[in-house]
Amino acid sequence: MRVFVSGATGFVGVNTVKKLIKYGHEVVAFVRNKGLAEKLLDRQVDVFQGSIEDFDTVYSGLKGCDAVIHIAGQIKAHNLDDLYTTNRIGSRNVAVASRRLNINNVVYVSSLAARGPDGAGSVVSHYGYSKRLGELEFIHNLFDANLKIIRPPIVYGPFDKGLLELFRMARLGVLPKMDKYYSFIFIDDLVEAIVKLINLDFDSPRIYCISSGKYHCKEINQALLRAAGKNGAFYLPLNDKIAMAGLLFSTSKSPFSRDKIREIKPKAWTCDSERLNKDIKFSPTIDIFTGFDITFRWYEEHGWI
């Protein structure tokens, strides 16, 4: 199967491409930076340079493909115009181009933020709204097609930079203290599920969540400390007011923004893989204690920590 993968040089994208190759698929990697793609990706991959916001290049890249895995997107909301353009219009371009080219096998990698936190019944951040609008663009344009949407929670593992600072803090023996619950998914489990989804054939959209479990922050800190080889830590209480104070030092590269603080406030961001397991007979196998250990070792070996 010839598979189009957008966002192929990102954390999830690189790992998805590797998994596709492992299973014998041909890959068209749609990327912004061809030089970076040639460094990160296997030589077997066909690299197509373009912008997800430009319909013509998306359409050209999709020609001759049998399936689509759309991963490209923005996470930070420091520039809302860019965020919505990439996550909504980019999704529309992929959906419309897939429809015009009669590609009837599409996987969209969304986010748990598009559902919202536990019990909220709605999204709570611009990032979440932009991903939800991306979902709706796919559903609107491919409602009668073989469309699968997956909403991962916090994704982590080797090559990830999103949780790197937290692992660095664990190594120093300093960690945040919160009374909250989160779900996680190890990168290998996520990409295994993504690749399995291209083998499913439906005549209407399916939306899935995936996670390895529901963890209290106390368990998360225990897993971090065990991975770092620490017996204890100094805990820094983190609440909404303290997080808001972080805005004073916020920059375009900072993890703190008003949007991220909206996501910090809720009590829980959790989900399960029940529906996914039912349809593809797959459940995540790596919990945070094992996954954090693998990730920490990788950071050490590659000089990231």
More confident residue, 149 or 40: 149
Q: Is residue 251 scored above 70 in pLDDT? A: no
Over residues 278-295, the pLDDT tens digits come to 998 888 999 999 999 999
79-83, 115-119, 134-138, 289-293: lowest mean pLDDT where? 79-83
pLDDT of residue 205 exceeding 60, the answer is: yes
Q: Greater confidence, 74 or 106?
A: 106
* Among the ranges given (12-21, 160-169, 244-253), the one the predictor scored with the smallest mean pLDDT: 244-253
Examine the pLDDT at 28 and tell me if it is beyond 60.
yes
What average pLDDT does range 11-39 have in this prediction?
92
**Where exactly are the structural domains of the chain?**
2-161+184-213+270-285
Q: Over 50: is that where the pLDDT of 100 sits?
A: yes
The answer to whether residue 244 scores a pLDDT higher than 60 is no
169-187 pLDDT tens trace: 999 999 988 899 999 999 9
Fold adopted by 2-161+184-213+270-285: Rossmann fold (3.40.50)
Average pLDDT over every residue of 142-166: 95
What is residue 259's predicted lDDT score, i.e. its pLDDT?
78
Task: Report if pTM > 0.75.
Answer: yes
Residue 260 confidence (pLDDT): 79
- What secondary structure, in 3-state letters, does the chain show? CEEEEECCCCHHHHHHHHHHHHCCCEEEEEECCHHHHHHHCCCCCEEEECCCCCHHHHHHHHCCCCEEEECCCCCCCCCHHHHHHHHHHHHHHHHHHHHHCCCCCEEEECCHHHCCCCCCCCCCCHHHHHHHHHHHHHHHHCCCCCEEEEECCEEECCCCCCCHHHHHHHHHCEEEECCCEEEEEEHHHHHHHHHHHCCCCCCCCEEEECCCCEEEHHHHHHHHHHHHCCCCCEEEECCHHHHHHHHHHCCCCCCCCHHHHHHHCCCEECCCCHHHHHHHCCCCCCCHHHHHHHHHHHHHHCCCC
